[in-house]
């Protein structure tokens, strides 16, 4: 029995989950991607802020 035979109607039941499960999983994945994206944006923004402060401090020391 090859792998493709399992999804054939003769085998009885399809191995695919119901559509509702697929939509739920997709929504979950989209939410997770958005959450990670926001966290990453926040992290990058914070790093840029810190680098900016460091550069400002360095330049102020050079001016004095």
Total number of domains constituting the chain: 1
Predicted structure pTM score: 0.50
Within-domain flag for 50: yes
pLDDT at 18: 58
Q: Which domain holds residue 41?
A: 27-63
| pLDDT one-digit tens code per residue, 3-52 | 555 555 555 566 665 556 678 888 888 999 999 999 999 999 999 999 99
Between the two ends of the chain, the Cα-to-Cα distance in Å is: 80
Within-domain flag for 43: yes
Within-domain flag for 13: no
């Amino acid at each position: 029995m090859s792998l493709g035979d399992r999804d054939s109607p003769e085998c009885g039941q399809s191995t695919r989950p119901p559509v509702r499960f697929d939509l739920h999983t997709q929504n979950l994945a989209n939410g997770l991607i958005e959450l990670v994206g926001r966290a990453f944006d926040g992290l990058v923004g914070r790093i840029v802020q810190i680098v900016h402060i460091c550069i400002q401090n360095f330049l102020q020391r050079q001016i004095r």
